[in-house]
Structure 1
Amino acid sequence: MKFYLRKIGFYLVAFVAAITINFAIPRMMPGNPVDSLIDRLAAKGGAIAPETRAAVQSMLGDTQTGIVSQYFEYVKNIFTGHWGVSVTFFPTQVTECIASALPWTVALVGCTTVISFFIQQLLGIAAGWRHGRLFDNIVSPVATVFQSVPYFWLALIFIWLFAKTLNIFPLSGGYDYRSVTPGFSWDFISSALYYACLPALAILVSSLGAGVIGMRNMMVSTLSEDYITTAEAKGLSPRRIKYGYAARNAILPSFSGFGTSLGHVVGGSLLTEQVFSYPGIGQMMLQAVQSNDYALLQGLFLIITVTVLVVNFIVDLLYGLVDPRTRIQD
């Protein structure tokens, strides 16, 4: 019980620290979201009356009050759902902006991360079990190459090959904007899946390297342990030794890394979505930075922070169940 209480306390402190940093960073950035929006409105024609500026200031949040008052107002708004109005997508609420982009990122990067993890483990287990043999001699060098290749370079190669040359997949976008209307229909779902294939393939291939090599090395190390020798001496089947003893223990570090990868699903999509012009959190974050959109930036950072903390908290609890040694106190 102390183990779980300690974990809960740690993540509560981490959450408070995260929202404090999230509050402070946008206010340390140059520029002013009110001035940014006023300039946009003025560029469309006409003078901006003082009353308009006051209304915009009230809508985006009063930055003229004391910093302490702003902080407590910010914390209250987090839990009441009043995250402000986006400058980039004015006059849309921040919560609506995030709700429109989040499913794209979670569907693409989240599903690909899960699929990639299982492929990594299966290839790593097979290569480690047959280390030094033909399968290992093929998989390990190939995985090492993919581990060293920058993701954006691989993504550009895939775009050139599969989209530009072979014309199998579309160049960019999230769905066919010209003929499909977003909604819960087969036309839209099939179009979204088709457009997601190329970025998903690029993420999958680029992420295989480190996971395969890591799992393979852990398998090789685990196979030299005494309990593996004991299992072999008892006459257990190779399959049971492979999965019940070697892989079960070798996968523990990978399990922890998988939790970290899941936690970064929301925040780790910036490069992916930029290369493929994919509509998601990463694309929205870049637009918010370019527009000095403090409210939207804070909302995005909050979602990313909460996702990382919640996923890692769950993984820590599950890790304590999978490996009871972690619950032992000094």
Structure 2
Amino acid sequence: MRYFAQRFGFFILSLWAAITINFLLPRFMPGNPAEVMITRYQGRLNPLVLHSLELQFGISHQPLWQQYVTYVQNMIHGQFGLSITYYPVPVISVIENSLPWTLGLAGTATVVSSILGVLLGIFAAWKRGGMADTLLPVVTTFTSAIPYQWLALLLLYIFGFSLGWFPTAHSYSATLSPSLHPAFIGNVLDHAILPATTMIVTALGGWLLGMRNNMIHTLGEDYVVFAEAKGVTQKRLKYMYAARNAMLPSLTGFGMALGFVVGGSVLVESVFSYPGIGYQLVTAVQNEDYPLMQGLFLIIAVSVLLANFIVEMLYGKLDPRVKKGGAGRS
């Protein structure tokens, strides 16, 4: 209980810090969204409407503490203002439309790459010194060193433009309407193959190497040697004794990776014009869309903090030593 209280308190403190920083940053920047829109439509938009635009964007000239209270109240109700890029669409609507695509693409790619990488890492460590242990780390290290955008452009050129096997942009064809029809679902999967492959290939090496190194270290522990001497079956020794304990650091990495899923893969989504959170973030920066940037940054920060908190709870459940260590330090 004490361990949970400590972690929950740290989560609340970190969440408050993220919310506060997200509130302060746009206010330290020169100008505001209303002035950006006035400048963008200079000569076509009457400057007298500046006050009206400020009201629409939630811009206030009240004291900073009153603005902060209003900001928190609006945030609780999901009111992040209007997007400049998609004016007059609310920021929350842009996020709601983009988030499912990012969760589907980046979430699936993260789960597949982590599971595949961990299994390959276990296999390579168990066969250490063999052909698999020699080739797999080298190949995956090379693929992980390839920049996201370079691999995305390469796959796009070969399989999209040259061979024409897969679509080159967007999440589904413009001729289709979103539905649960098999044709639409198949079209969505077809559009997701290239960006998902890019993310899986570039992330696989990290999972494999991390698990392999942890597994090799665990195989040398006394309890594993003792279990092997007692005649424990190779399968049980491999998965229940070695892999289970070696997987704990990977669990932490997996939780953090899931947290960053909400942020999407900015470069990959930009290359494929995939309408996820990462693509919207680039669009917001290019258009100086402060309300949209603020909403996206907050969603990403909260997701990372929440994922980290959940992983710490799971870690404490799987490894009681963490709770004892935390209690001892307090």
Mark yes or no: TM-score above 0.5.
yes
| TM norm structure 1 | 0.95
Report the counterpart of residue 46 of structure 2 in structure 1: 48
**1:95 correspondence with 2:92:** yes
Compute the displacement of 1:182 (Å).
2.4
**1:284 correspondence with 2:287:** no
Q: Which amino acid aligns with 2:275?
A: P
Look up the SS of the partner of 2:261 in the other structure. coil
- Give CA-to-partner distance per residue, 1:108-128, whole Å, 9 cap, x none: 001110111110110000000
Q: What percentage of residue pairs aligned between the two structures are identical?
A: 45
Shift in CA distance, 326/31, structure 1 to aligned 2, threshold 3 Å: same
Distance in 1, matches of 2:252 and 2:47, equals: 56
Shift in CA distance, 225/62, structure 1 to aligned 2, threshold 3 Å: same
How is 1:81-230 mapped onto 2 (pairs within 5 angstroms)?
81-177=78-174, 179-230=175-226
Distance in 1, matches of 2:179 and 2:21, equals: 37
Distance in 1, matches of 2:125 and 2:243, equals: 9
Report the counterpart of residue 15 of structure 1 in structure 2: 15
- Give CA-to-partner distance per residue, 1:269-324, whole Å, 9 cap, x none: 21111111111111111121222222211111111111111111111111111111
Q: Which amino acid aligns with 2:37?
A: L
Report the counterpart of residue 59 of structure 1 in structure 2: 56
**1:30 correspondence with 2:30:** yes
Paired positions, count: 326
Q: Which of 263, 266, 278 is the aligned partner of 1:267?
A: 263
Shift in CA distance, 272/243, structure 1 to aligned 2, threshold 3 Å: same
Report the counterpart of residue 247 of structure 1 in structure 2: 243
- Give CA-to-partner distance per residue, 1:92-111, whole Å, 9 cap, x none: 11111110111111100011
Look up the SS of the partner of 2:232 in the other structure. coil
Look up the SS of the partner of 1:82 in the other structure. coil
What's the Cα RMSD here?
1.4
**1:72 correspondence with 2:69:** yes
Is 2:102–2:264's contact at 8 Å kept on the other side of the alignment?
A: no
Distance in 2, matches of 1:181 and 1:42, equals: 37
Is 1:199–1:272's contact at 8 Å kept on the other side of the alignment?
A: yes
Compute the displacement of 1:131 (Å).
0.5
Is 2:114–2:207's contact at 8 Å kept on the other side of the alignment?
A: yes
| TM norm structure 2 | 0.95
**1:308 correspondence with 2:300:** no
Distance in 2, matches of 1:146 and 1:248, equals: 27
Shift in CA distance, 76/163, structure 1 to aligned 2, threshold 3 Å: same
Compute the displacement of 1:16 (Å).
0.4
Unaligned runs of 5+ in 2: none
Distance in 2, matches of 1:103 and 1:148, equals: 29
Report the counterpart of residue 323 of structure 1 in structure 2: 319
Compute the displacement of 1:47 (Å).
4.5
Compute the displacement of 1:220 (Å).
1.0
Distance in 2, matches of 1:195 and 1:24, equals: 39
Unaligned runs of 5+ in 1: none
